[in-house]
Amino acid sequence: MPSTKSSHSRTMATSLVRRAGVRMTRQRRAVLETILASHDHPTAAIIFDRTKAHMPGISLATVYNCLETLSETGIINHLNFDNGPSRFCPNLEPHVHLLDDTNNRVLDIQLKPGLRPEDVFELPEGTCVTRMDACLHGNIPV
Ligand SMILES: [Zn+2]
């Protein structure tokens, strides 16, 4: 019997895919469930390893195809930082990313409560921010 957490993840995966109008396949579900359970912004290779643990027959090419579809439909975020491999983020709330230069971690960072991007950045007058896609670098204490 599935745990409550994986059952929730499965329900959320199905709902996200249906809302995007994408056909749910076993492979897409498995890849999406892996990403929804990952809060470390994994690379495709890591997602492949994690997905393979519960779907041994899945190929790396299939994982790449699933990631492309899920990214194109806006179900997940496809991230590129500097020259490193692509990473994937399931957090669809407005946020920026903080790259830990010491430990190679990527964290989601929200604006402080009550602030909007317009309150933080010197934007041209009249600008309406529709999406945040920024990357901060730093050293995060362990
Ligand atoms: Zn993120």
With contact defined as beta carbons under 8 Å apart, do 61 and 31 qualify?
Answer: no
With contact defined as beta carbons under 8 Å apart, do 36 and 13 qualify?
Answer: yes
Q: Pairing mode, if any, of strands 135-138 and 96-100?
A: parallel
CA of 124 to the centre of ligand 1 (A): 26
With contact defined as beta carbons under 8 Å apart, do 78 and 92 qualify?
Answer: no
What is the mean predicted confidence (pLDDT) over 2-7? 51
- Summarised one tens digit per residue, pLDDT across range 53-96 is 999 999 999 999 999 999 998 889 999 988 889 999 999 888 99
First and final CA of the chain: distance in angstroms? 36
Confidence class of residue 8 from pLDDT cuts 50, 70 and 90? low
Which secondary-structure segment (H or E) carries 68?
A: helix 60-72
pLDDT attached to residue 19: 78
CA of 30 to the centre of ligand 1 (A): 20
pLDDT at 112 over 80: yes
Helix (H, G, I), strand (E, B) or coil at 136: strand
pLDDT attached to residue 3: 44
- Summarised one tens digit per residue, pLDDT across range 11-25 is 777 777 777 788 888
Which secondary-structure segment (H or E) carries 108?
A: strand 105-109
pLDDT attached to residue 85: 92
CA of 1 to the centre of ligand 1 (A): 30
CA 26, CA 55: separation in Å to the nearest integer? 9
Helix (H, G, I), strand (E, B) or coil at 133: coil
Please give the DSSP secondary-structure letter assigned to residue 96: E
Confidence class of residue 2 from pLDDT cuts 50, 70 and 90? very low
pTM: 0.82
Domain segments of the chain as ranges = 4-89, 96-138
* CATH code for the structural domain at 4-89: 1.10.10.10
pLDDT at 1 over 90: no
With contact defined as beta carbons under 8 Å apart, do 103 and 140 qualify?
Answer: yes
CA of 137 to the centre of ligand 1 (A): 14
With contact defined as beta carbons under 8 Å apart, do 132 and 117 qualify?
Answer: yes
CA of 130 to the centre of ligand 1 (A): 17
CA of 52 to the centre of ligand 1 (A): 23
pLDDT attached to residue 9: 64
